[in-house]
Amino acid sequence: MAFVVIASYLPGMSTPDRPVAFRIDRPAPDRAEAAARREAAVARIRAETGIDEAMIDALVEGFYAKVREDDVIGPIFAAHIDDWGPHLEQMKLFWSSVALSTGVYQGRPMPKHLPLPIDARHFDHWLGLFEATARELCPPVAAEHFIVRAHRIAESLELGVANANGVLVGPGERYRRPETPWTPEAG
């Protein structure tokens, strides 16, 4: 692979404006090539894990049925979701993109989670429910594939929620919302 390096002999350009390197041996891929690579990746993941849309549908439906009945995270979801149909459809697209790399989900989950009253305890609970559902409904290879990605998602969202609340979480640290101590006046 050939690279051309443009050194600092471009005196008229400031550092941010100065190109450092660029590829000259291959044109940028076109959309058809990118789509073919995505299709090949999706097919490989399907073959390795057995995951398909029917499995994603069953996992999403089964998981959110548990969420709606859950005493810890159920009320948080209930406070923000009036119509479960569209939410479940979005979650199916999300998990298709996450588990199969299909790219069908175009949403932005982080902004939706930032204002929620959640912390590490909620993410751990979410993961517990998700893991149990994945292990119940999916073959072991598929369950593990989903679970690994769920952990990455939970970690990312927890870091984002912490940051949105002015807390910088270091390596190995978890975010816990401040708890107001009980006082007789507060009840």
Check residue 166 and give its pLDDT.
93
Check residue 30 and give its pLDDT.
81
Residue 139 to residues 12, 58, 96, 98, 144, Cα–Cα distance (Å): 61, 12, 17, 18, 9
The C-alpha atoms of residue 120 and residue 147 are separated, in whole angstroms, by 17
Share of the chain above pLDDT 90, in %: 74
Q: Which of 71, 67, 181 lies closest to 127, judged by CA? A: 67
Prediction pTM value: 0.79
Q: What is the mean pLDDT of each run of 10 residues along the chain (187 residues)?
A: 44 54 64 90 96 98 98 95 96 97 94 93 97 98 98 96 93 87 64
pLDDT tens digits for range 13-46:
555 555 555 556 666 668 888 889 999 999 999 9
Residue with token string 């101590």: 181
